[in-house]
Structure 1
């Protein structure tokens, strides 16, 4: 059996909602899903084993939802989707500023969650790809600069050798001219 394509952390205390989410996300993404009902557990789990996507409710029983979402967004840099029953504009802005990718209001269509998860995972994949290419470019640039320095050092040595050879040649020519004058 092969590895699941994605690892998703699901934080939701309502069993019925959890079942629907698991079914839809597993079917759509062939994902390994870790389900938790408590926010404090989620922080520990995410620190020990980061997931590709976090779907967290704003209603966990043991931790303020916004605080949980902020912590999750700050520790893993993975996309975080928040679900909530009631959310005012101020709370929504606070979540988005903290790094939450999207906020879904309950009840939401499962298809909406799946599409939001798809966009979040794709954006995260593109960010990772961009970061990988940036690292490659930085390494190529370092190598280019290092090789250019080495080449400059070699050119400088060759130039010194040429200047030295030219001086010796000029001195020899002058000595030969002096001898020729003395013989003449």
Structure 2
């Protein structure tokens, strides 16, 4: 039995074959599964069932899955894994910017799907625990004291610029989640111009020099080429 057995999972998929494959795999792992085959039924099911995780197809018959995602994000913080045949970076970025936590491209293996489900539920559980201890954050050698506005690596205080600290905190508060360039630049500078993306790369390079043991081979902050960055849980 998995560590998140009995978690409630909403599967939003209009293709019966894919829906049956996913629900069968989840049922066998003791997850509690509900299904929806359209955007409207997905929104109603999420509102009434309060799922712990949503698996969302983008190609729904009544509305684009991104619209469903935007509606869910207006009131729900449940992790959402997008499952889609769309492989373009623009589609992935659009879904992540709208609030998706992960993006799985069709066709996919059941093993990879289950691994991503476990990871998303684990991050969600950890996030809930961290919310109770929101005054500090620890990840390997990194320690952030939000109350004092200070960060440390191996007990040594870091000399961070205000922008570097904001960037570090943004990544830490979304640990394990891919943050797009657009999302980060909007959160840091309030805009999303190309020049801001160039600035982001500079700040990310200087931040890595201060927190990574080997900045040329970073382990804590991962680059997702063409998409954005993710703080990896060590």
Same fold (TM over 0.5): yes
Alignment correspondent of 1:140: none
Structure 1 length-normalised TM: 0.66
Match of 1:14 in 2: 15
- Give the structure 2 partner of residue 107 of structure 1: 107
Give the 5 Å matches for 1:124-139. Answer: 124-134=124-134
Summarize deviations over 1:21-66 as a string: whole Å, max 9, x none: 11211222x1111111011111122122210000010111111121
Greater RCO, 1 or 2 (C-alpha within 8 Å, sep 6+): 1
Q: Which runs of 5+ in 2 are unaligned?
A: 136-234
Paired residues in the alignment total 131
Matches within 5 A, 1:77-116: 77-116=77-116
For residues 100 and 73 of structure 2, the distance between their equivalents in structure 1, rounded to whole angstroms, comes to 6
Distance in 2 (alpha carbons) for counterparts of 1:74 and 1:116: 24
Coordinate RMSD, CA, aligned: 1.6
Alpha-carbon distance, 1:76 to partner: 0.9
Work out whether residues 69 and 82 of structure 1, in 8 Å CA contact, stay in contact via their aligned partners in 2. Answer: no
Q: Indicate the residue corresponding to 2:44 in structure 1.
A: 44
2:53 alignment partner in structure 1 = 53
Larger radius of gyration: 1
Structure 1 unaligned regions, length at least 5: 136-184
More strand by share: 2
More helix by share: 1
Larger mean CA deviation between 119-128 and 93-102 belongs to: 93-102
* Runs of 4+, deviation exceeding 4 Å: none
